[in-house]
Amino acid sequence: MYKAIKLATLMSLKKSLLTLLGVLFVMLRVSGLPEVKWNKKNVVEFIEKCRKDCGIPMFKTAFFFKATDEQGNPVVFGHCWGGYGKAPDMVVFVDVPPEDYNFVKLVKRDWEALLKLYAPEKLPELESLPIIIKGRKFTL
């Protein structure tokens, strides 16, 4: 019985420590990131820059916890994964409307879904671009 309690306590401490480390990592990672107001123009511009750099635009509502600004409003992280490294690596979108926040939270392949919503005419061109990851070229 004592061993079971001790093991449960250790597992709980391990989980708490991992959560704390995750929070610290995200805080260090996002401090100093450019903040961009969430609107159609800025979101499409981020997607375009990332895709034209042959990266994959990703939008995240959380890492280890729900991310918020200083007033407690939800934010969305825009991350350009892969590519040549010329596009912004990561930005923090602020003033995100609740419906857009929930859309990003629920939808897979979010950059394509956002582009269909905000600028469907640009989708064929941006989908046709290759993806570069560590010097290797892929296509969608």
In a domain, 81, yes or no: yes
Residue 9, domain extent: 1-31
Verify that 77 and 115 share a domain, yes or no.
yes
Verify that 20 and 46 share a domain, yes or no.
no
The pTM of this model reads 0.74
pLDDT tens digits, one per residue of 16-54: 555 554 554 444 445 578 899 999 999 999 999 999 999
Per-residue confidence (pLDDT) for residue 137, from 0 to 100 = 83
In a domain, 140, yes or no: no
Nearest-angstrom CA–CA distance, 10 and 12: 5
Nearest-angstrom CA–CA distance, 116 and 109: 11
Report helix angle 98-106 to 110-118, nearest 10: 140
Q: DSSP alpha helices (H): ranges in the chain? A: 2-30, 40-52, 98-106, 110-118, 123-128
Verify that 3 and 63 share a domain, yes or no.
no
pLDDT tens digits, one per residue of 117-137: 999 999 999 999 999 988 888
Number of domains comprising the chain: 2
Verify that 43 and 80 share a domain, yes or no.
yes
